[in-house]
Amino acid sequence: MTKTNTPAHVAIIMDGNGRWAQSRGLPRIRGHQKGVERVEEVIQAAPDFGIRYLTLYAFSKENWQRPREEVSFLMDLLARYLDQKLDEMKRNNVIFNTIGHTADLPGPVREKILRNVQETRTNTGLVVTFAFSYSARAEITDACRKIAGRVKAGTLREEDITEQTVADSLYTAGLPDPDLLIRTSGEMRISNFLLWQISYAELYVTDKLWPDFTREEFSRALESYQQRERRFGRTDAAPHAAS
Ligand code: IPE
Ligand code: IPE
Ligand code: MG
C-alpha cells in the first residue's frame, strides 16, 4: 500500500462475529472474543497506514434486543477491554473517544469509559472513536432537540441554522466525516450507522467475517479506496480526502 491518498478517517461496521463462531461449532460469544483481537490489530495498523481517525461500530442501540446472556457477555468483554487496553492506548498516543447513548451502559462500564477518555485526552495520535449503544437516527433526533433548545432559548436564530450547525450538534462534533466506510461479513447495509456523516464516504464491503479481518485485509480495503475516483458531485476527480 502506498501512502498517497490515504483516508484520514475510516469507519468500520465490525460484523460477523456470531457467524465466525457458529461456522466452527462454537457459541457466538467466542466470535466476539476473537473480534477483540482484530480491534486491537486495526488500532495498531491505522497509524502505520496514515489514518488519523478510526471509528468502530461496537454495539448498536438495536443490539440491546439480543439474548440477555449475549448482551451481558458483551458488556463484560467491554469492561475487560477498557481495563486491559488503557496502558497500551496511553503508550501508543491513542485518543480514546466514544459516541452513542453511553448512559445506557452498566455503571462500571460507564466509569471505565470516562476514565479512559480522561487519561488519553492529552494524547496527540490516532483518534479511536467507539460507537456504543449507538443509533444514527437517535443521534440526529438528539441534534434536533439541541438545536430546537437553542432556538427556544434565543441563542440561535432559525435562519442561522446551517449544515455546520447540524454537524456540530451530532455526537461526532469535531471529527471530520469518514472518507471510507468498511463493512465486514458481506451485508450490503448501513444498520443505522453515521447516516449524516457518510454522505460522501466511499463504501467497501468484504465477505471476510470480522474475526478474519486482519491487517492484510485492512490494507486491501485501503488499496481499493486509493483506486477510487471521488467526485463529490462534480465531473472531475476531487482530492481524496473531503476537506
Ligand atoms: C458483530 O457481529 C458484533 C456486534 C454486533 C456486537 P455479530 O454478533 O452481529 O455477528 P453476526 O452478524 O451475527 O455473524
Ligand atoms: C451492526 O451489526 C452493528 C455492529 C456491528 C455493532 P448488526 O449485526 O447488529 O447489524 P444487522 O442486524 O445485521 O443489520
Ligand atoms: Mg451481525
Would you say residue 68 lies in a domain? yes
Domain presence at residue 183? yes
**Residue 2 domain flag:** no
Mean of the per-residue pLDDT values for the chain? 96
Q: Do the domain assignments include residue 237?
A: no
User: Model-level pTM?
Assistant: 0.97
CATH of the domain at 104: 3.40.1180.10
Show the domain range for 190: 9-135+177-226
Q: How far is CA 6 from CA 42, 54, 123, 125, in A?
A: 15, 13, 22, 16
Rounded distance, CA 88 to CA 94, Å?
8
pLDDT confidence band for 3 (50 / 70 / 90): confident
- Residue 93 pLDDT > 60: yes
Which of 60, 132, 195 has most ligand 2 atoms within 8 Å of its beta carbon, as the pocket-test mutant?
60
Query: Best substitution site from 12, 13, 14, 15 to test ligand 1's pocket, by max atoms within 8 Å of Cβ?
Result: 15
- In the structure, ligand 3 is a single-atom ion and the residues with CB under 5 Å from it are 15
3-class secondary-structure state, position 57: strand
Asked whether residue 148 is domain-assigned, the answer is: no
Residue 175's CB: how many other CB atoms inside 10 A? Answer: 21
- Hey, what amino acid is at 101? H
Q: Is residue 64 part of a domain?
A: yes
User: CA–CA separation, 188 vs 86, rounded Å?
Assistant: 34
Give residue 236's pLDDT: 86
Question: What are 140's three cell numbers?
Answer: 440526529
What's the pLDDT at 134? 99
Q: How far is the CA of 22 from the centre of ligand 3 (A)?
A: 12
Report whether residue 115 contacts ligand 1, using a CB cutoff of 6 Å.
Answer: no
pLDDT in tens, 127-165: 999 999 999 999 999 999 999 999 999 999 999 999 999
Q: Is the pLDDT of residue 1 over 80?
A: no
Work out the percent of the chain whose per-residue pLDDT is above 90: 95
pLDDT for position 237 = 83
Which of the four pLDDT bands, split at 50, 70 and 90, describes residue 241? low
Instruction: Note the pLDDT tens digit of each residue in 204-218.
Output: 999 999 999 999 999
> Is the per-residue pLDDT at 243 higher than 60?
no
Q: Which DSSP symbol is given to 50?
A: T
pLDDT tens per residue, range 55-71: 999 999 999 999 999 99
Strands (E), the chain: 9-13, 53-60, 95-99, 127-134, 180-183, 202-205
Q: How many domains in the chain?
A: 1
How far apart (Å, rounded) are the C-alpha atoms in residues 7 and 142? 28
Residue closest via CA to ligand 1's atom 12 equals: 16
Please list every protein residue whose CB sits less than 6 Å from any atom of ligand 2: 13-15, 57-60, 63, 187, 189, 191
- Residue 122 CA to ligand 2 center (angstroms) comes to 32
In a domain, 209, yes or no: yes
17 lines ligand 1 (CB under 6 A): yes
Q: What grid cell was written down for 172?
A: 461526532
